[in-house]
């Protein structure tokens, strides 16, 4: 039957995902704000700690650069550079130290060939293409062929796969960060506990992103599956 429009009840599936995402984002912002006001006893900056941890792991060639923004910190494997945001680079706060150590954790993952990050980095180009093409192909499939609908669902599934692979990558980077901060006495026990709370809050945003992707995929399957039966 020719596809038609009807009341879409499946949007209800996205409500829990949206609530979780908003709460996770508010939580990470609030937690970082709280611990951005708590300085570390030794006076290390985020950049100091990043450099120390890199050197401890023999990663002398990995550079550290300042990048604009708030919580825009990231490791770029293409250029082998750890980029720390304005709120992290020069800050001596417990929150900044935790974030800096986490990003260096990604650099260590890359250098040691951590399996999950190798897979994630390898599929990024393909995932970007799949994400760009999935919805147009799904819509075309309604009018041309349900084979295209199936293809669109498969392409969108790549986004879900990427989000799921991201979880162990982020959890492992945070685990490496906390172990290093504790083991090398870069922070006191109380300060490390604060840094851990910041990283746990950040990890929840990735859980929320994965959950949102799964719910979106389920919604797409239900929408296009119902139309196929009609």
| Chain segment 30-46, per-residue pLDDT in tens | 999 999 999 999 999 99
Q: Token match 């026990």: residue?
A: 189
Q: Token match 């819509």: residue?
A: 139
d(CA 66, CA 222): 45
Res 5 pLDDT > 50: no
Residues 207, 169 contacting (CB under 8 angstroms): no
Residues 51, 88 contacting (CB under 8 angstroms): no
Residues 71, 87 contacting (CB under 8 angstroms): yes
Least confident among 3-7, 39-43, 136-140: 3-7
Average pLDDT of every residue of the chain: 89
Stretch 180-198: mean pLDDT: 93
Helix (H), strand (E) at residue 82: strand 81-85
> Where in the sequence numbering do the catalytic residues fall?
103
């Amino acid at each position: 039957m020719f596809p038609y429009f009807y009341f879409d009840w499946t949007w209800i599936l996205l409500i829990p995902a949206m609530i979780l995402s908003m709460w996770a984002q508010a939580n990470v912002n609030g937690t970082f704000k709280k611990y951005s006001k708590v300085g570390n006893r030794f006076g290390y900056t985020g950049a100091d700690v990043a450099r120390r941890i890199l050197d401890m792991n023999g990663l002398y060639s990995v550079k550290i650069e300042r990048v604009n923004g708030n919580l825009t910190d990231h490791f770029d494997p293409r250029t082998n550079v750890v980029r720390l945001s304005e709120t992290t680079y020069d800050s001596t706060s417990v929150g900044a130290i935790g974030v800096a150590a986490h990003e260096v954790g990604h650099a260590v993952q890359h250098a040691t060939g951590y399996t999950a990050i190798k897979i994630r980095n390898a599929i990024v180009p393909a995932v970007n293409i799949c994400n760009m093409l999935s919805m147009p192909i799904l819509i075309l499939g309604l009018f041309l062929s349900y084979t295209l609908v199936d293809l669109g669902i498969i392409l969108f599934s790549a986004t879900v796969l990427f989000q799921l692979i991201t979880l162990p990558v982020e959890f492992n980077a945070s685990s490496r960060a906390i172990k290093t901060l504790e083991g090398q006495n870069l922070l006191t026990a109380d300060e490390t506990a604060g840094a851990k709370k910041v990283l746990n809050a950040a990890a929840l945003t990735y859980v929320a992103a994965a959950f949102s992707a799964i719910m979106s995929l389920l919604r797409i399957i239900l929408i296009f599956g119902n139309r196929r039966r009609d």
